[in-house]
Structure 1
Amino acid sequence: MLILFSTSQPAPAAAQDVPLSGLGRFEGWRENALIGYGLVTGLAGSGDTRRSGVTRQALRNVLNRLGTTVTDDQISSRNVAVVMVIATLPASANVGDRIDATVSSIGDARSLAGGTLLMTPMLGPDQHPYALAQGALVAGGYSFESDLNQQQRNYPTTALLQGGATVETAVDAHILKANGEISFLLSDPSFGTAQHIADAINGRIGFGSAVAQSADEVKVRYAGDPAQLTAFLARIEAIQVKPDSTPRVVVNERTGTIVAGGEVQISSVVISQGDIKITIKAENVASQPGFVSGFASDVRSLVVTNTKLDVDDSVGDTVVRFPNTTVADLVQGLSHAHVNTRRTISILQAVKAAGALHADIIVQ
């Protein structure tokens, strides 16, 4: 089957103005990872088993701090689990602020549902405590077992501590450097976009205020009152520019998803698509000899394998000819030709290899 598509080349989509807050961030304004190690109690027999020595040791340490001395033989409950606790500290946080935390089992517990996390210090990369986590857990699943029968939903060994971590050490981002410079970092490096940002800042603040240092950094000079820095940064974030677009085609082979900008161009190309399906079926048949009285060591079953091979030559082969067009037109044309999504992904990769697709293909 031959299908010809005659499409005129559309005009590239005009780039939209985007505020600087959507194109990047100021250097120093970043979140920080926190981690802790603690115990979850109150589990209904779904905690760590006695094989987990670290759980018994952690429980002994907690009880010793509370004035109770116990031995290993006195700890036999499965209502306790040892866990790792992680959280993200915002770039600016005050003492008393509450943040979310995620709790994950590191032992052999079956479920954390219904458990309560005991007070757990949350450490930063410098090994200093910045928050304390404690409270009831919310698990998004369950796991029940009885007489070798098990029912499980989602992953009950990970739970959420909603607002259960309290900030104990205030943090603040340091954006203004000692030399009076501020660095704006682009999330998507581009020399053109960096120059557009520098020109826009110079036009709003004053000539010489900003310079494009590289494809991912724009330096801004600030000589005003440090108390007015927040207002200055707000003015910069509100500036709008037209970023340079990078032609990309994102494909997900697992889900069969294709995402591409409407302006991604394809040169004139001819696509021939067809396949031959080969199916091999093997069937094992046991030939059992009839009843033989007595014992005969030389009589045994015979296993025979029958193999069937089918070759299906597809009758829906497709040849598609495209003039200079876009990925959107190509995908639409292949869809009209009844080419499924996964084959369309293979075609896009082949067109890219042939040098006719002028964009980067990102395979997820």
Structure 2
Amino acid sequence: MKNIVTSPLANLWGVMLLGIVFLAATAHAATEAPVRVKDLGKLQGWRENALVGYGVVTGLAGTGDAPTNRSTKQALANVFSQFNMTIAPEQVQSRNVAVVMVTAALPTFAREGDTVDVTVTSAGDARSLVGGTLLLTPLKAPNGRIYALAQGPLSVGGYRYDANGNVVQKNHPTVGAIPAGATVEVGTDANMVDARQNITFVLSEPDYTTANRVANAINAQLGAALAEARDASGIQINIPEAQRGHAVRFFSRVENVTVEPDRRAKVVINERTGTVVTGGDVRLAKVAISHGDLKISIVTDHTASQPMFVGYGYNPGVRTAIVTNSRVDVEERNSPAFVAATNNTVADLVQALAQMKTNTRDIISILRAVKAAGALHAELVVQ
């Protein structure tokens, strides 16, 4: 009986090549399909506002905070005081209650009566929030003003049950959510226009070439010199006097302007999944690649040692023994893989290596070496 173990660094020519998801653009950056301006960024002032609150979850089946938790006692006593019930915190004894932190994000444009999702997290030593209900909780912004009120039953995507020292748990039962659980009490309205009747469009990925193209596209498609690129991320746009009473209509026209963005050469490698992704037409300089192969095998033989005269009563202590013999075999190929890349793309290189049955780990190592040699004209990102 033989067991063969191969080193993970070996090039397994007899095993199916690990899958590589290789996504490459076949056209040059200049022939990229036009995209809308709104897909490249957003107007300055478009942002969400963080809200946070401190509340109490009730209705837990003995999985709440411990009776010795002073913050829970005080919080529950405060709740009772709102209903003209005076109870000292020391008299509160319950494991069906938990103190929690409540968070939400207020949209850029919110009206009174709108609802937003909230996230509830345990702030004490509760074991689980399953089955709990959040009591009315005010949500405040960093300026201390209350903008929303949250309340409702929790939706927890997990559980925890324990008995006699045995614990069964799935996901995080101390975190829950309430879809549309907060009602906006104070609306918000973002101011996109400055004192000079200008708006600023901000690119998600700053790039001087793309910013210049966006400004030129807006001027060409709107028929006036309205836009100017101020830096790599900001394009200042002046609102025409005739459009200032119809700002929404003008914003819509700007968002739907089409432009051909410039793509920065980038190669992304994910070692965990064996994925190689390249953006744009990433090319290679003249480079020669030689990659050897080393195979290490550990062979184990199991044999039975059968002594003479077993069973005849001459020596009751004599037994059959299993003897294990192992040996290490190292095999190195004399003809290493050789690839000559002359003004090719990364896609061409990966396809050539795949045809030579090079595994994923070796392809990633080769791309790193090519980058170190200065032949890969792109940013190499390893995840």
Q: Do the two structures share a fold, i.e. TM-score over 0.5? A: yes
Tell me, what secondary structure is at the counterpart of 2:230? strand
Question: How much has 1:192 moved relative to structure 2?
Answer: 1.1
**Match in the other structure for 1:12:** 28
**Match in the other structure for 1:187:** 204
Is 2:151 the partner of 1:134?
yes
Tell me, what secondary structure is at the counterpart of 1:214? coil
Question: How much has 1:136 moved relative to structure 2?
Answer: 0.6
Deviation sequence 1:33-62 (CA, Å, 0-9, x none): 111111111111111113432222212211
Provide closer, same or farther for how the CA distance between residues 39 and 336 of structure 1 changes in structure 2, counting only shifts above 3 A.
Answer: farther
Provide closer, same or farther for how the CA distance between residues 240 and 57 of structure 1 changes in structure 2, counting only shifts above 3 A.
Answer: same
Identity %: 48
Q: Structure 2 CA distance, aligned partners of 1:271 and 1:245? A: 27
Out of 35, 38, 45, the position equivalent to 1:28 is 45
Tell me, what secondary structure is at the counterpart of 1:334? helix
Q: Structure 1 CA distance, aligned partners of 2:327 and 2:96? A: 57
Report if the CA contact (8 A) 1:46-1:112 is conserved: yes
Deviation sequence 1:218-273 (CA, Å, 0-9, x none): 10111345430000000111110000111111223333332212511122323333
Q: Structure 2 CA distance, aligned partners of 1:134 and 1:230? A: 34
Is 2:109 the partner of 1:92?
yes
**Match in the other structure for 1:300:** none
Is 2:244 the partner of 1:244?
no
Q: Structure 2 CA distance, aligned partners of 1:49 and 1:166? A: 31
Provide closer, same or farther for how the CA distance between residues 279 and 76 of structure 1 changes in structure 2, counting only shifts above 3 A.
Answer: farther
Report if the CA contact (8 A) 2:59-2:131 is conserved: yes
Provide closer, same or farther for how the CA distance between residues 49 and 209 of structure 1 changes in structure 2, counting only shifts above 3 A.
Answer: same
Alignment of 1:202-217 (within 5 A): 202-217=219-234
Provide closer, same or farther for how the CA distance between residues 154 and 277 of structure 1 changes in structure 2, counting only shifts above 3 A.
Answer: farther
TM-score (norm 2): 0.79
Provide closer, same or farther for how the CA distance between residues 46 and 217 of structure 1 changes in structure 2, counting only shifts above 3 A.
Answer: same
**Match in the other structure for 1:355:** 374
Q: Structure 2 CA distance, aligned partners of 1:104 and 1:339? A: 48
Tell me, what secondary structure is at the counterpart of 2:179? strand
Provide closer, same or farther for how the CA distance between residues 270 and 225 of structure 1 changes in structure 2, counting only shifts above 3 A.
Answer: closer
**Match in the other structure for 2:195:** 178
Report the more deviating stretch, 47-56 or 308-317.
308-317
Q: Structure 1 CA distance, aligned partners of 2:327 and 2:122? A: 50
Report if the CA contact (8 A) 2:59-2:133 is conserved: yes
Report the more deviating stretch, 135-144 or 343-352.
343-352
Which residue identity is paired with 1:237?
E
**Match in the other structure for 1:301:** none
Q: Structure 1 CA distance, aligned partners of 2:358 and 2:102? A: 48
Unmatched tracts of structure 2, length 5 or more: 1-10, 12-25, 299-325
Question: How much has 1:201 moved relative to structure 2?
Answer: 1.4
Which residue identity is paired with 1:12?
H
Tell me, what secondary structure is at the counterpart of 2:47? coil
Aligned length: 329
Which residue identity is paired with 1:356?
A
Out of 279, 283, 291, the position equivalent to 1:265 is 283
Report if the CA contact (8 A) 1:265-1:358 is conserved: yes
Report if the CA contact (8 A) 2:265-2:280 is conserved: no
Out of 293, 312, 320, the position equivalent to 2:339 is 320
Q: Structure 2 CA distance, aligned partners of 1:338 and 1:58? A: 65
Question: How much has 1:153 moved relative to structure 2?
Answer: 1.1
Provide closer, same or farther for how the CA distance between residues 136 and 276 of structure 1 changes in structure 2, counting only shifts above 3 A.
Answer: same
Report if the CA contact (8 A) 1:262-1:326 is conserved: no
Provide closer, same or farther for how the CA distance between residues 82 and 344 of structure 1 changes in structure 2, counting only shifts above 3 A.
Answer: farther
Q: Structure 2 CA distance, aligned partners of 1:110 and 1:194? A: 52
Tell me, what secondary structure is at the counterpart of 1:272? strand
Tell me, what secondary structure is at the counterpart of 1:179? coil
Question: How much has 1:72 moved relative to structure 2?
Answer: 3.9
Deviation sequence 1:139-159 (CA, Å, 0-9, x none): 111111111111111111111
Provide closer, same or farther for how the CA distance between residues 62 and 189 of structure 1 changes in structure 2, counting only shifts above 3 A.
Answer: same
Unmatched tracts of structure 1, length 5 or more: 2-9, 281-307
Provide closer, same or farther for how the CA distance between residues 195 and 311 of structure 1 changes in structure 2, counting only shifts above 3 A.
Answer: same
CA RMSD of aligned residues (A): 2.4
Is 2:140 the partner of 1:123?
yes
**Match in the other structure for 1:230:** 248
Higher relative contact order (CA 8 A, sep 6+): 2
